[in-house]
């Protein structure tokens, strides 16, 4: 595990944490946006392959509008008109998508925030973020933790937890873009999901 300065935002340093396993897997995480900047896994031929999209420098992330590799929140996805009702009260959020919807946490969502590194070792890092009541229009203060952990032979797990001091809405999402043939289009990728469906959960006509 290694830490180094990735850049500066208004005199505040942005730190990159690099996690590694003996198998050759490495993951690079920024404390800005809790971003996965790089993830590399071993190739069968003994090399390593980058499998997520990322920018080379901080300027790329400051200009980014695709939420590349970030933790998205307080609420991922779109909220129409930036309004929702909770407990009989209508809450108006910021509108950041053509002034029509509230997208991925608003004008300054979790992807644009500095996270605090609260724990790390060679294969994991835990970061924390506090979102005060009223931020982007959301009710209640929310404290969020995110842990990235490498596990053999080549797994990156992500564990997120949010605790609120009042009724609110939370929907956290990790937003990496994967490409198993880095540098080329993903249009020829084929995805196979080994999943099952219990027949007793099926509803006729659905």
Task: For residue range 6-55, list pLDDT tens digits in order.
Answer: 999 999 999 999 999 999 999 999 999 999 999 999 988 888 999 999 99
Indicate the average pLDDT of the chain.
93
93 within a domain of the structure (yes/no): no
Q: What is the number of structural domains in the chain?
A: 1
With 0.85 as the threshold, say if the pTM is over it.
yes
85 within a domain of the structure (yes/no): no
**What is the arithmetic mean of pLDDT over 98-123?**
96
152 within a domain of the structure (yes/no): yes
- Binned at pLDDT 50, 70 and 90, residue 202 comes out as very low
84 within a domain of the structure (yes/no): no
CA–CA separation, 48 vs 107, rounded Å? 37
Question: Which residues span the domain enclosing 33?
Answer: 2-74+104-201
pLDDT tens digits, residue range 170-201? Answer: 999 999 999 888 778 888 888 888 887 665 55
CATH number, domain containing residue 114: 2.70.98.10
Residue 7 exposed, middle or buried by CB count within 10 Å (0-12, 13-18, 19+): middle
Which residues is 120 bridged to in the sheet?
A: 125
Q: Which residue, chain included where needed, has tokens 């990790």?
A: 174
95 within a domain of the structure (yes/no): no
91 within a domain of the structure (yes/no): no
3-class SS at 117? strand
**What pLDDT, on the 0 to 100 scale, is given for residue 198?**
62
67 within a domain of the structure (yes/no): yes
**What pLDDT, on the 0 to 100 scale, is given for residue 206?**
39
26 within a domain of the structure (yes/no): yes
């Amino acid at each position: 595990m290694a830490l180094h300065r990735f850049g500066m935002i208004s005199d505040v340093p942005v730190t990159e944490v690099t996690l590694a396993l003996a198998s050759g897997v490495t993951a690079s995480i920024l404390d800005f946006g809790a971003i996965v900047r790089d993830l590399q896994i071993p190739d069968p031929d003994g090399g390593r392959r980058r499998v997520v999209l990322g920018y080379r420098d901080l300027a790329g992330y400051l200009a980014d509008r695709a939420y590349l590799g970030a933790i998205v929140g307080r609420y991922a996805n779109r909220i129409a008109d930036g309004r929702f009702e909770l407990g009989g009260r209508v809450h108006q959020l910021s509108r950041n998508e053509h002034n029509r919807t509230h997208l991925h946490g608003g004008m300054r969502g979790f992807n644009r925030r500095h996270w605090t590194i609260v724990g790390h070792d060679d294969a994991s890092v835990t970061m924390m973020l506090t979102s005060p009541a009223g931020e982007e229009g959301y009710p209640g203060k929310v404290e969020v933790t995110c842990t990235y952990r490498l596990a053999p032979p080549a797994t990156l797990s992500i564990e997120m937890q949010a605790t609120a001091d009042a009724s609110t809405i939370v929907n956290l999402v990790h937003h990496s873009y994967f490409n198993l043939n880095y540098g080329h289009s993903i249009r020829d990728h084929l995805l196979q999901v080994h999943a099952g469906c219990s027949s007793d959960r099926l509803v006729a006509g659905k």
